[in-house]
Amino acid sequence: MIRRTTRGDIGSIEELYSHTKNSTELTWLLPDPLDHNPFRSFVAVSDNKIVGHIGYVISKFKYNESEFSGVHPQAWIVSPEYRSHGIGLKLIHKVLDMGDFSYLIGGSKATMRIFPFLGFKLKFFVLEYVKPLESFYTTQASKTGKDTISLEEYHKKEAGQYQSANAAFINAQESSHIKWLLDCPLCDTYAFSIKQDGKPLGIAVCYTGKNKDDVLTGRIVHLSYLGDDLDPWQHTLSEIEQFFMDKGCLVVTTLASHPTYINALIDNGYSQRPNYPVSNFNENGRPFLLRDPQNNLPDIPDESFHWTFLEGDMGYRNF
């Protein structure tokens, strides 16, 4: 039997993961941010025992004034003794058609083997960029541009995409999604309204946490699409970097797929991450898999996708 997850199932899901995901993470990750009663999650039950689980995130996306709903499956697992019984497929099919399209950024080796058979296609790799902050890099963009960009405390009413999205396929930055990201209990979370000459330009969501080497690291979990001009990107990055330095971070990381964002990162002294803790990621980055059986998405060029941690693993993992 496949049914909705309840709060009382959290302990059993934790056991499925051999406690590599704890109850603190799961009780934040799975509830619907719009209503904390339903869970964005299903469990498989056999002989009154929970033997499988899948969670998901649904987000709104925009492109050329059109709006789409995308579903991202996550925390998909089946107890070893119940594998090869079709339980995993039943779970994944519960969530795949909830949106206009389904997608995944990254995933295990097993996921990469299975997802092509579910209609997912490898579109491209999302790159991760890294910058040491010990030697702070000063951008070469105009001083005037820097003076006009500021980070101010984020307020819920300011959520939204402020730049025209015609050049990019973007997350709609719903306020409930941003709040959910900021509720993450596994790291310190921050959000800023990016302003230019006092006018809202976008949103930045940032996390800080210690990596496996006990180094305090900053993550740009989300940065709004800021248009085609490199100056706002560069100066926004500089302001975020200064914030991380003030917090004591020695490194900053971010996911990037849109060429304008990538160019701004490179100009600001970032380099592509040389290696990953997940074996199926490589020098190209994290695989982006897309499932669109009804052809709901237009023929969007790969370079138009503006992906950040916001769309995938939320940036709290692999610190």
Question: Quick one: CA torsion of 256, 254, 177, 92, rounded to 10 degrees?
Answer: 70
CATH superfamily of 2-99: Gcn5-related N-acetyltransferase (GNAT) (3.40.630.30)
pTM: 0.91
Distance CA(119)–CA(116), nearest Å, equals: 5
Distance CA(138)–CA(227), nearest Å, equals: 21
Q: What is the dihedral sign for C-alpha 252, 123, 301, 60?
A: negative
Per-residue pLDDT of the chain (319 residues; tens, 9 = 90+): 999 999 999 999 999 999 999 999 999 999 998 887 789 999 999 999 999 999 999 999 999 889 999 999 999 999 999 988 899 999 999 999 899 999 999 877 778 888 999 999 999 999 999 999 975 554 444 444 555 899 999 986 655 555 555 679 999 999 999 999 999 999 999 999 999 998 999 999 999 999 888 999 999 999 999 999 999 999 999 999 999 999 999 999 999 999 999 999 999 999 998 876 666 666 678 899 999 999 999 889 999 999 999 998 888 987 7
Task: List the one residue out of 222, 246, 230, 242 whose CA is nearest residue 309.
Answer: 222
CATH entry 3.40.630 includes domain 127-288+297-311: yes
Tokens for 305?
Answer: 């996708």
Q: Where are the alpha helices (DSSP H) in 183-249?
A: 230-247
Domain residue limits, the chain: 2-99, 127-288+297-311
Distance CA(155)–CA(150), nearest Å, equals: 15
